[in-house]
Amino acid sequence: MAWLESHLLTATVFFPFAWGLIGLMIPSGNQDPKNAQNVTKYWTLIGTIITFLLSIMIFNRYQAGGPEFQMAETVPWLTVVGISYNVGLDGLSLWLVLLTTFLMPIAVLGSFAAIEIRRKEYYLFLLALETGMLGAFVALDIFLFYVFWEVMLIPMYFLIGIWGGKDRIYATMKFFLYTMVGSLLMLVAIFYISYQHKLQFGNYSMALVDLYRLQLTGGGFWAPQSLLFLAFGFAFAIKVPLFPLHTWLPDAHVQAPTAGSVILAAILLKMGGYGFMRFAFPLFPQGLAYHQNLFMILGAVAIIYGAWVAMVQPDIKKLVAYSSVSHMGYVILGLFSLNTVAATGAYYQMLNHGISTGALFLLVGIIYERRHTREISAFGGISKVMPLFAVAFMIITLSAVALPGTNGFVGEFLILLGSWKTSPLLTAVAALGVIFGAVYMLWMFQRVMFGPVTHKENEDLKDLNFREILVLVPLIIAVFGMGIFPNFVFDKLNPSIDRFIARSTVAVQVQTASTQGLLMAKGK
How far apart are alpha carbons 144 and 174 in whole angstroms? 25
What is the total count of domains within the chain? 1
Residue 77 included in any domain = no
How far apart are alpha carbons 21 and 42 in whole angstroms? 14
89 phi/psi in degrees, rounded to 5: -145, 150
Residue 156 included in any domain = no
Residue 178 included in any domain = no
Q: Is the bond into 241 cis (omega within 30 degrees of 0)?
A: yes
Per-residue pLDDT of 131-188, as tens digits, reads: 999 999 999 999 999 999 989 888 988 888 888 778 888 888 888 888 888 888 899 9
Task: Give Cβ neighbours of residue 326 (< 8 Å, ≥ 6 apart).
Answer: 302, 303, 304, 305, 306, 307, 310, 433, 436, 437
Per the CB < 8 A criterion, the answer to whether 453 and 459 are in contact is yes
Per the CB < 8 A criterion, the answer to whether 266 and 354 are in contact is yes
Q: Residue 29: its pLDDT value, please?
A: 52
Residue 149 included in any domain = no
Q: Residue 350: which domain range?
A: 284-494
Per the CB < 8 A criterion, the answer to whether 349 and 327 are in contact is yes
What is the mean pLDDT, run by run of 10 residues, along the chain of 524 residues? 78 92 72 62 90 93 86 87 90 93 92 77 90 94 92 89 83 85 89 88 87 82 87 90 85 84 88 91 90 92 92 89 90 92 93 91 89 85 89 92 90 92 90 90 90 81 89 94 92 91 71 40 44
Task: Give Cβ neighbours of residue 251 (< 8 Å, ≥ 6 apart).
Answer: 167, 170, 171, 174, 175
How far apart are alpha carbons 49 and 474 in whole angstroms? 13
Per the CB < 8 A criterion, the answer to whether 357 and 320 are in contact is yes
AA letter at 83: I
Residue 400 included in any domain = yes
Residue 436 included in any domain = yes
Q: Residue 33: its pLDDT value, please?
A: 53
Q: Residue 511: its pLDDT value, please?
A: 44
Residue 204 included in any domain = no
Residue 335 included in any domain = yes
Q: Residue 507: its pLDDT value, please?
A: 54
pTM for this model (two decimals): 0.90
Residue 317 CB neighbour total at 10 angstroms: 21
Q: Residue 39: its pLDDT value, please?
A: 80
Q: Residue 490: its pLDDT value, please?
A: 92
